[in-house]
Amino acid sequence: MKIIQQRTAASGVVAAESGQTVFPILLALSFSHLLNDTMQSLIPSIYPMVKDSFQLSFSQIGLITFTFQVSASILQPLVGLYTDKRPQPYALAIGMCFTLLGLVSLSLADSFHIVLLSVGLIGIGSAVFHPEASRVAHMASGGRHGMAQSLFQVGGNAGSSLGPLLAAMILLPYGRFQIIWFSLVALLAIFILSVVGNWYKANMDRSTKKSADVTHQAVKLPTRTVVFSVGILLLLIFSKYIYMASISSYFTFYLIHKFGVSIQNSQIYLFAFLFSVAAGTFIGGPVGDRIGRKYVIWISILGVAPFALALPYVNLFWTGVLSCVIGLILSSAFSAILVYAQELIPGKVGMIAGLFFGFAFGIGGIGSALLGNLADKTSIEYVFNVCSFLPLIGLITGFLPNLEKKKTA
């Protein structure tokens, strides 16, 4: 382990000094994100099992998602704000320890309340991981911030897509207790993040100086413009993640109820959607670096509207096709939104990452709870009809300032 750490740190310092992208660190972060989100994605993947085991309503299923995502969302901006002032190189590995505890507890849970406690612990691990990992990705980007964030994000989305597949292969046939084997995945992530922490520690001084230089050189926008723009970005996150919550939490139930597919086959459809999300994630960052993030945001969220509006009215085959198209287009938005926000408020990488990751988790959790309640009062098909209009909120992207023009002016 020491040899790996020394080589990674040495190559990272050389790359950091020359302004090059530190790909070993970015790849380590992306793989850690894959491991982290694979473990997190087990939560919605076991909903059909948990619903039957504890005789839960859709509202209680929504409460599980709410507990997980709100425990993550409340802490993330605070973690980011704190570490902007006092960087913590080994916080990533420590946060993963909470995820480890949550997995063990979830595998042994014998009541609904223990399930809530377990997903809350996993949420705390997520709250520490995302803002700090996003900061390290920014440090290792070599100036290619969009590419770095997309590479980081694609690992997470790939991990999210694996959860339903692993649930169909391991958990559904053999039972929820098999989650305990995923504690080995958490241990692997802790090891990798400890190595990343060593690189982080060796480059903290250089990163602080570079952040100060970027802040000094950044184009200053009026405070009113910045606040208004952040508000628009948060509304776009609202649109994206409420819609994503409808699919990640309830797509399996929708397929089972409307088309009569089996639980295992419904997990395959969910995997296909989440895999398309992972495949599309890498597009937003590099394309945003080239043509401007505002245009990527516009295309990603508003462009998905025709497919989302059509989804509730098609047969099973086209439901699978359209869900994949939706995932592919919609997934490019987050990296572009996050980097756009970091350019709006330079020098606050951790705080912005924490705010936007936290808001995304929180609004997804609240949305899941509300949609579950709506499904109980109406039907799961009605939920998908209502959510199909959410991407139209993408129209407000036109009010965002064009930062690229301001930089070149």
pLDDT of residue 258: 93
What are the backbone angles phi and psi of residue 75, rounded to the nearest 5°? -80, -25
Helix, strand or coil, per DSSP, at residue 220: coil
For residue 389, pLDDT over 90 is answered with yes
Q: Model confidence over 269-279: pLDDT tens digits? A: 988 898 888 77
The mean pLDDT value for 252-270 works out to 90
Q: Model confidence over 201-257: pLDDT tens digits? A: 888 765 555 554 444 444 577 888 899 999 999 999 999 889 988 888 889 999 999
- Is residue 178 exposed (0-12), middle (13-18) or buried (19+ Cβ within 10 Å)? middle
The residue among 115, 192, 156, 147 whose CA lies nearest residue 357 is 156
Helix (H) or strand (E) holding 173: helix 172-174
Helix (H) or strand (E) holding 269: helix 263-291
Q: Model confidence over 356-366: pLDDT tens digits? A: 877 887 787 78
Query: Domains of the chain (ranges plus CATH)?
Result: 20-408 (1.20.1250.20)
| 219 secondary structure, DSSP code | P
Global pTM?
A: 0.68
For residue 1, pLDDT over 70 is answered with no
pLDDT of residue 188: 96
For tokens 């509730």, what's the residue?
312
pLDDT of residue 352: 84
CB 312 within 8 A of CB 384: yes
The residue among 42, 57, 37 whose CA lies nearest residue 369 is 57
Radius of gyration of the chain (CA): 20
For residue 7, pLDDT over 60 is answered with no
